[in-house]
Chain A
């Protein structure tokens, strides 16, 4: 059974960069059949797709966040990462990593448990 686990600081100061890592176990992160993505949920609000990485490192970002987001993958460590720069209080959220199926499905197949990141001085 594939498992994903988010890790990273739970508190980030305004204007700094939020950095999270998702460690994948129970399956290969190298498959080109899947997207590896990040999704967030501000407290009491809905889910928001942040972006994903796929297929030899191709990245896809939510247009509203694109200027601040970088997603990368380290296949040797079976990890992929999220960096969100110039954060504000509005970036406070539970951040989920996920595996998303590719062609013919495009569904979020597996979710991490989520990690709360608070932006505050």
Chain B
């Protein structure tokens, strides 16, 4: 069974930069997995931030960016703000109509 890995938690100072990653238990993440990233605050449905590795969803500030770093997909937040404190999930498309979520990263801004 494919496992998508994310850091369980991360903290960043206001105004700082943080990079969250999304890897595979076996193998490397590439653009062929169409990595996407979602932000979720408590009690709310997730919001799409990034898709197809580095495309920003409509209305998402440009301080959110996506990339491939080494063998992982990455979400970078530049100039973190207090309301960026959320859970962040990556999703990989495995092909044949199958998607797998990462376990999520809880980001604290302090």
Contacts and interface: CB of A to CB of B under 8 A. Distances in A.
Interface string B75-110: 000000000000101010100111111111000000
A111 B46 contact: yes
**Max chain B CB contacts within 10 Å: which of A47, A48, A62, A112?**
A47
Instruction: Name B's interface SS.
Output: strand
A48 B91 CA distance: 10
Interface size class of A (residues with CB under 8 A): 20 to 34
Interface in A105-119: 105-109, 111-114
20 contacts: A46-B89, A46-B101, A46-B103, A47-B89, A49-B91, A49-B98, A49-B100, A49-B101, A52-B99, A60-B97, A60-B98, A96-B45, A101-B51, A106-B34, A106-B52, A107-B36, A107-B52, A108-B38, A109-B48, A114-B45
